[in-house]
Structure 1
Amino acid sequence: MSQATMIILDIGRIVAYVDEKEEKSFFERAKECAARIIEQKILSQGKNLVGVLLLGSKTTKNSMAVEFDGAFRHIEILAELQTPTWKMIRDLPEKPSNSRGDYFEALLVAADHFKNCAGHGKLASKKIILMTNFIKRPTHVPDGVEEVINGFKDEGFEVNVIGPDIYSKELDSKATELIKQFVEATNGATDTLENIMKYDLLFHRKKITNAIPWNVDLSIGPNIKIPVSSYSRLKDDPAVKSWQKAVKDPVTTTSSTSEAVVKSKEYVNQESGAKVEAADKVQGFQYGQKIIPFSDTDKKTMLYQPGEKCLSVYGFTSADNIKWQNLNGDGLNYVFGRKGDKSAQKAVRCLVECLHELNLVGIVRKVHNNNLNPKMFALMPVIDTNNFVCLSLIGICYKEDIKQMSFPATNLKKHKCSQEQVDAFKELINAMDLTKAYDDTFDDTEAFPIAECVSPTVQYILDCIAFRALNPNKPLPKPRKEIMTLFKVPPLLEENAKKPLEKLKSLFTLTKVEVKKRKNKNVPLDIDQFKIPVGDLQTDNPDIPNMPKIHLPTKDDVNEIKTISTVNPIEDFKVLQSRNKPLSELATEMIKAIESLILNNIDGNYSKALDAMKHLRSEFVKTDPTDYNDWIKKLKAELVDSDKTAVIDLLTEKQVSYILKQENSLSSYEDEHSHEESQMYENDTIPNSTELTISTDVQNMFDD
């Protein structure tokens, strides 16, 4: 059943002024509180219904005003009773109005709205939250107030008040007399805005759900079976269990949950290229270079079968053998005797008392459902001070999950502490006692009590979800102050620990140990880190740490050129040619440099490579052009394989392609396209281009 809440928010002129004690008006603070209530109802993901009613609105919008002409004015139903949405928060008014409404009439409108919303079925609770400052008393109070209050009580309404303290002597007693009767008669509650925001609405709360039992028989040996139910006590659940996917339209920047990206999965036979139906595929495992099929029949016969669901006791061991380091921490379950089975409950209680007296722990094997992986658990007795008796179930790590660690001995002479040092540590421990973290001004002196501290991670995630829903285009904020407080040491403990810490510093002499880092001698030199003006480049400059000397080539170093590089290929060609180096060797080096400039190019500028080709072509025009034409033929094939077909057009445009017969009679090319058809046929039938990329050693290996 759903829990329904109707919020009556006063937005009239009586809540618009700013009190001297407060920085914000009552309207601003009440609006923040209402928004926070709706936000928590959304994020709790429970079965909640919320409605918003505006008191003191400019317009009148309610069914009671239509039925009774002239009454119930300036009361507007902003949001009907429904599942809470972010739109409710966005629709809250930004400014108060100049009108004034009657909170007594607003209570009647809210009660009438509950009756009209019968489509929601039976409700678990009906809450009405009134938020006003009670400066003005109700103007229209009929004589039959007691009948109205009794009607609220009979219908199961609960009237709660958030605002000033209605029992305070500072308020007009006649203005709050009526609301006190509603609160007391309906067993409602009242509190101030400050307390509600500081305590009740400070952190997000998880929705309360009933525990679902896992029913199984606890087996002890072949003959004993006890019907038990296991309940989850601790479990590490995410902040949001399920996310609803939506597709965002890039044009309208709106998201839609009814649209989605369609994905399809196909299976293709690599040998034939034909599609294979999912029902025809067989799962396999790769072993070396072979794929071994593994059918469903093999799974049944070869794989380990854990069997049916069970909770079987393997044996009992001393509780001293179960160390907390060997527990996996994956949740905690409590085991009780099956509900309604008194014999099972007595058997569980007897088992708990026996384990407790003998200091034993049971080792059990658990299979949650049929054919699921089995897990090992420790079955330990739990006896609470209030005669609460049950068994706790917590997982045990397998041997492979346990890390064996060896620590150096600490009972050495050099590690021995004096009695004064030991006492100083005890004094620090007493000063940092979390059970005495606050003084008498607080209700509870303990800091971070067990089972009461909220998770900072979960709180921040929920804050981010709420912020993103209301501010879709703004960056996410930092964690708020209340969340960061969870990481801080309480001020009283921090103050108490100052003297013990100073005493420890005086008793222990600490020596800073500098860890020498290994120097990597093969670190590549980054020239950009030495951006120093040329005028400041001096050998005796202390600001230059180990400045390396870089030798740049000069005119005198030209004679050191031994091969053609990609820096100045034409100049290198001319220098080596002046040393009477044969053209066959020069052409090989020049071709290697040109291919590197073209195939490894990333900026799309091929001017240096084309100039080098033009120079090489002019040299082959004077001699036999066969080698040059064969190279151009292979180069074009490589350009096609490398998706650089645009370079082929540049070869023709810059006139560095084939050497034609009209330029040299030894050439077999009469025009540019004379061999294109034969070249295409040759590339399609005989993969000559493969010979350019695969080394001879690899080819010989395949031949063998």
Structure 2
Amino acid sequence: MPSDVKLPDMTLMGKTSTPDIPDQEVPIKNVAQWTDNNRTIHTEEDIIRGYVYGGKPIPVSDEAKKAMTPKTNEKCYKIHGFTARENIPMEYWLSDGSYVIVPANESVSAPFYSLVQAMVHKNVVAIVEKVYRANTEANMVALFPSVDVPNEPWCLIEIGLPFERDYGAIAQRPLKFVMNQLSKEQNDAIDDLLTSLELPDAVDDDAIDVSEKYLPGYMPDPGAQHMWDMLSARALKPDKPLPPIADDVKNLLEQPEFVREKCKPVTERIKNVFSLEKKQPLNIRKRKKSKDRDNEQSDNGDVFMAQSIKKDEKDITKDNNDESKNMVPLSNACNFNFDEIGDI
């Protein structure tokens, strides 16, 4: 019986040379460094974890993070209730992606599909509490029944829901309110635009080629493809400059010709039925409002100063009149008989 042979540990090596010492191989060691925006190196003892909220870093110590971590949450996937589908509009969808829920085995298929059918019949969605791992935070999700997709099994689509504090942080207008403001002509134009953007059904060979081109796994990533093109060009021609982006990669980002032709008349309709109003950038509008507010305050200050000046003039006039009443005329003050003083 052959004995197991243990391979030696792989060590990264690099070549170094100096004017005095010829080329020699030295092991490469990975050293972690923490730098700031000024490229100043800091030690691990000076680093604290945190979060960036609104562009402002908020430090969170390990003790605070442990205090915020739930200690009693158990792993669960519990349905709290059901609500009408119209009560969960699109603006309540929180998660970036979605999950597909299907039966794990045949033993639970019958109750699972019965639940899906009942949800479709009642037009409701399920509100679920989800704890992915023990002692982690709980999330609320909604389960939408899906039964009308051809060639796919019945399933439940899981989409995350926000808590009240999360939804209140971003004030937005409901989509239904915006849609109700559209006229019938505008609504029909939007529907036609969405229809024109759809890929054709695979009814002939050309349509099959076009449809399969955009399936997952068929279309290459333009960024990754360009990166590999640059790496191969640098390896084969290290002394020459990098070539421009290949036409094949550019074509991946272009809209298909048949879609462009279908969208052209619809876009012209949208230009006619929707009126576009040019608005100034938000910072300019804020600056203009602040300037108008300052002008208004300065005008109010000028009016107040004018009223104060008039009031002061009235007070001065009144004081002068009072002083004139209390003063004795100079002719009366000097009307004195000095001969009588001499006789005394």
Larger RCO (CA under 8 A, 6+ residues apart)? 2
TM-score (norm 2): 0.49
Bigger helix fraction: 2
**Greater C-alpha radius of gyration:** 1
TM-score computed with the length of structure 1 as normaliser = 0.27
